[in-house]
Chain A
């Protein structure tokens, strides 16, 4: 029942918000990008440079922020529950395991989307107060960036939840989830520094597609709405498949015994 998933999601969001330290650390992660870009923009080397590296840097930070917002909640919500021995009491209730995962995914996604939005707000402040110039005004890009990126935190949430479900402790989950942050970073940097790799076939590949989407917007080119919608649907489909694997993992006996 979707209702049970919403009950779980609501509890996880409240629980997550009350963990002030985690909220603060996620917020710092998401605002780190605008802060770094703001500082780099002060460099005299960049003034008058024909090709600024800032648009590439910005797109990498936006990509990373989609993974940063929900990381702590994802870690806490399954690996943390198992470690604190509250996962078994939850599974004693008449709730399908896939509904448990769906509820937790919704909560992680809320934090992931919030992280992305804070990041974009941070960049809005940086653009309003600095002399960074893109090929198109940020105010006109903001909606297209937000729309194009919206499904990425949902995919990130499902991947983070899968790692949290597989890991046996918060510490182990923290290791793997930190490593996962390098995925958007690596893909982002790859396309920034190897422009020749920006092939058309990557446009619809989740994560790579979002990076190319961002790069196009930063370069002042338009991205067809159809492309964004197809990429969003493919990203959501992949997120759904990862969630099915998550639910399957939670069905297994190992999720209960051995802890």
Chain B
């Protein structure tokens, strides 16, 4: 389980995440929903240990860990998916496995599994230069799931993907969730959240404005759909700021 308590972050005296608290349980896909610049990516980057929070606590399985400790327990695919174009898919994955200290025999097995799960067999030994967005995204996803993390963070992972790839990604995420993985999935696309997420965390201007299942959020806002609920919640938040 990932637990965020009172997280704050500012850049150049501009507060972008404001006392944010939420929980993402194991065996569930938690959607982090918000408009552009809502603070989703910054929040994920803090959980992943690449940005330092100004204040607040980050708990992984109820333990407050330092950034390296969190990175050991997490797999992440954030907005920067850069893969090494002069390395093959297999070499890309092997490199990151080695960085995580995976034993050679285990690593080789896991690399083959990741390649198989993501349907990358035909291009596994090709350098990634010239790969399509979908192929690069799959390679990056392989990097995130290589070490079978108990917690997986994904920042808008369907951006630029074609429909079959989006469908296979959804299937993969459901399989991982059913196996007990805690998945946090950030998106500004309601359709994605509706299709995948068990619970939703709505953020606006760096603040938490709602958390719960989609049914709970609709019922609390007296709306029929997540889209209406989202608009109602974010507009009320914006008017309170104005």
Asked if A84 is at the interface (CB within 8 A of a chain B CB), the reply is yes
Q: Are A257 and B51 in contact (CB under 8 A)?
A: yes
Q: Are A8 and B99 in contact (CB under 8 A)?
A: yes
Q: Are A253 and B98 in contact (CB under 8 A)?
A: no
| Set of chain B residues within 8 Å of A7, measured between Cβ atoms | 95, 98-99
Per-residue contact bits, chain A 87-101, to B (CB 8 Å; 1 contact, 0 not)? 111111111100000
Asked if A222 is at the interface (CB within 8 A of a chain B CB), the reply is no
Q: Are B87 and A256 in contact (CB under 8 A)?
A: no
Per-residue contact bits, chain B 9-20, to A (CB 8 Å; 1 contact, 0 not)? 001000000000
Q: Which of A15, A85, A89, A94 contacts B68 (CB 8 A)?
A: A94
Q: How far is the CB of A101 from chain B (nearest CB, A)?
A: 14
Asked if B109 is at the interface (CB within 8 A of a chain A CB), the reply is no
Q: A11-B87, A86-B80 are in contact. Are A94 and B52 (CB under 8 A)?
A: no
Asked if A52 is at the interface (CB within 8 A of a chain B CB), the reply is no
Beta-carbon nearest neighbor of A91 in chain B: B50
Beta-carbon nearest neighbor of B70 in chain A: A94
Asked if B130 is at the interface (CB within 8 A of a chain A CB), the reply is no
Q: How far is B85's CA from A253's CA once the two chains are assembled, in angstroms?
A: 26
Q: Are A92 and B87 in contact (CB under 8 A)?
A: no
Q: Which of B50, B52, B72, B96 contacts A88 (CB 8 A)?
A: B50
Q: Are A94 and B72 in contact (CB under 8 A)?
A: yes
| Set of chain B residues within 8 Å of A96, measured between Cβ atoms | 68
Q: How far is the CB of A257 from chain B (nearest CB, A)?
A: 7
Chain A residues 85-120 with CB under 8 Å of chain B are: 85-96
Chain B residues 75-96 with CB under 8 Å of chain A are: 76, 78-87, 91, 95-96
Count of inter-chain pairs, beta carbons less than 8 A: 77
Beta-carbon nearest neighbor of A254 in chain B: B11
Chain B residues 176-190 with CB under 8 Å of chain A are: none
Q: Which of A15, A91, A93, A94 contacts B87 (CB 8 A)?
A: A15
Q: Are A88 and B95 in contact (CB under 8 A)?
A: no
Q: Which of A11, A19, A257 contacts B95 (CB 8 A)?
A: A11
Q: Are A89 and B80 in contact (CB under 8 A)?
A: yes
Q: Are A256 and B45 in contact (CB under 8 A)?
A: yes
Asked if B175 is at the interface (CB within 8 A of a chain A CB), the reply is no
Beta-carbon nearest neighbor of A84 in chain B: B82
Chain B residues 33-91 with CB under 8 Å of chain A are: 42, 45, 48-52, 68-69, 71-72, 74, 76, 78-87, 91
Q: A11-B87, A15-B84, A253-B51 are in contact. Are A92 and B101 (CB under 8 A)?
A: no
Asked if B207 is at the interface (CB within 8 A of a chain A CB), the reply is no
Per-residue contact bits, chain A 74-92, to B (CB 8 Å; 1 contact, 0 not)? 0000000100111111111
Q: Are B143 and A15 in contact (CB under 8 A)?
A: no
Q: How far is B52's CA from A257's CA once the two chains are assembled, in angstroms?
A: 12
- Residue picked from A19, A84, A92, A96, most chain B C-beta under 10 Å: A92
Q: Are A256 and B51 in contact (CB under 8 A)?
A: yes
Chain A residues 1-18 with CB under 8 Å of chain B are: 1, 3-4, 7-8, 11, 14-15, 18
Q: Are B80 and A88 in contact (CB under 8 A)?
A: yes
Asked if B100 is at the interface (CB within 8 A of a chain A CB), the reply is yes
Q: A11-B87, A253-B11, A257-B11 are in contact. Are A95 and B99 (CB under 8 A)?
A: yes
| Set of chain B residues within 8 Å of A94, measured between Cβ atoms | 68-69, 71-72, 99-100
Q: Which of B42, B72, B84 contacts A86 (CB 8 A)?
A: B84
| Set of chain B residues within 8 Å of A4, measured between Cβ atoms | 99, 101
Q: How far is B39's CA from A178's CA once the two chains are assembled, in angstroms?
A: 39
Q: How far is B14's CA from A257's CA once the two chains are assembled, in angstroms?
A: 14
Q: Which of B69, B78, B86, B99 contacts A15 (CB 8 A)?
A: B86
Beyond the given pairs A85-B81, A96-B68, 5 more chain A to chain B contacts, judged by CB atoms under 8 angstroms and listed by A's residue number, are A8-B99, A11-B87, A84-B82, A89-B140, A89-B143
Closest 6 CB pairs of A and B: A86-B82, A85-B82, A85-B80, A88-B80, A94-B71, A18-B86
Chain B contacts to A: CB under 8 angstroms: 11, 42, 45, 48-52, 68-69, 71-72, 74, 76, 78-87, 91, 95-96, 98-101, 127, 140, 143
7 contacts between A and B (CB under 8 A): A4-B99, A14-B87, A89-B81, A89-B82, A94-B100, A253-B51, A257-B42
